[in-house]
Chain A
């Protein structure tokens, strides 16, 4: 009974995740979790229907679980700072402006960091997310990038 509920649920999650980018290691880990969860409830003598109900109560329906599993991957595909960087580089390459696009990009990225407190355009903070805070180096970096942006804009103005 338990095996049937487990396999049906896992298969449904796999089908629902079609089109999402799901981390297979994360899914494998969750399979062991679901299996252990069902084993424990099976030992209590619950029927197939009861096991299914417990499973849905704990993890949601297969579509919800598939979306949760894909959540982080969907968000990390193409971030706003990366889009802005590519746009700035593209404009600098094809337009008559040399410094202005990069300067504007730096103003954008520093303002983005200060307003949203998401400095993940910087590799250092991607690797050390726990070091994000409201003071210290993050604000020094933001200020420095902002100043560099203004400097590049002034260079463009003087050309």
Chain B
């Protein structure tokens, strides 16, 4: 039970980072982002669950959007990363690597559990 909660929190914290990483290369719309996340397996999101994440990133000015016509369907809302988003991504990835490095170093020095 405790483990599930931990995994849930870990995933929740990783979604923003994952979306920023995806948008770093090109603008994407909601379904496209969801599909890319599903391909990772671990970061899979279903239905409309991506939109609160996108909303949070937009409120924090990390991403912005524009509407574009679609060939055979409704207009699509494309998100792109802002300068503030790039900075946040850089900082967060650095923090993430530091955390991972710190945990790995502990594992190497006496990881009897693994």
* A33 and B48 contact, CB distance less than 8 A: yes
CB B69 to nearest CB in A, in angstroms, measures 11
Which A13-43 residues have C-beta < 8 A from chain B? 25-26, 28-33, 35-37, 39
Interface size class of A (residues with CB under 8 A): 20 to 34
Which B75-100 residues have C-beta < 8 A from chain A? 75-77
* A29 and B73 contact, CB distance less than 8 A: no
Contact of A130 among B29, B46, B60 (CB under 8 A): B60
Q: Which of A35, A65, A128 has the most CB of B within 10 A?
A: A35
Could you tell me the distance between the alpha carbons of A127 and B58 in the complex, rounded to whole angstroms? 11
Chain B 48-70 per-residue mask, 1 if CB under 8 angstroms from chain A, else 0: 10010000100110000000001
A59 at the interface (CB under 8 A from B): yes
Q: A130's closest neighbor in chain B, by CB?
A: B60
CB A132 to nearest CB in B, in angstroms, measures 12
* B48 and A59 contact, CB distance less than 8 A: yes
Decide yes or no: A32 and B70 within 8 Å by CB, A37-B31, A130-B60 being known contacts: yes
Residues of B with C-beta under 8 A to A30 = 30, 48, 51
Q: List 30 A-B contacts (CB under 8 A).
A: A26-B51, A28-B75, A28-B77, A29-B29, A29-B30, A29-B51, A29-B77, A30-B48, A31-B73, A31-B74, A32-B29, A32-B70, A32-B73, A32-B77, A33-B30, A33-B34, A33-B48, A35-B74, A36-B32, A36-B73, A36-B76, A39-B72, A39-B73, A58-B47, A69-B48, A128-B60, A129-B56, A129-B59, A130-B56, A130-B59
A68 at the interface (CB under 8 A from B): yes
A90 at the interface (CB under 8 A from B): no
Report B's interface with A, CB cutoff 8 A.
29-32, 34, 46-48, 51, 56, 59-60, 70, 72-77
Could you tell me the distance between the alpha carbons of A39 and B48 in the complex, rounded to whole angstroms? 17
CB B13 to nearest CB in A, in angstroms, measures 12
Known pairs A35-B74, A37-B31, A65-B48 / 14 extra A-B pairs, C-beta < 8 Å:
A26-B51, A29-B77, A32-B29, A32-B70, A32-B76, A33-B31, A33-B34, A36-B29, A36-B31, A36-B76, A39-B72, A58-B46, A58-B47, A128-B60
Residues of A with C-beta under 8 A to B32 = 36
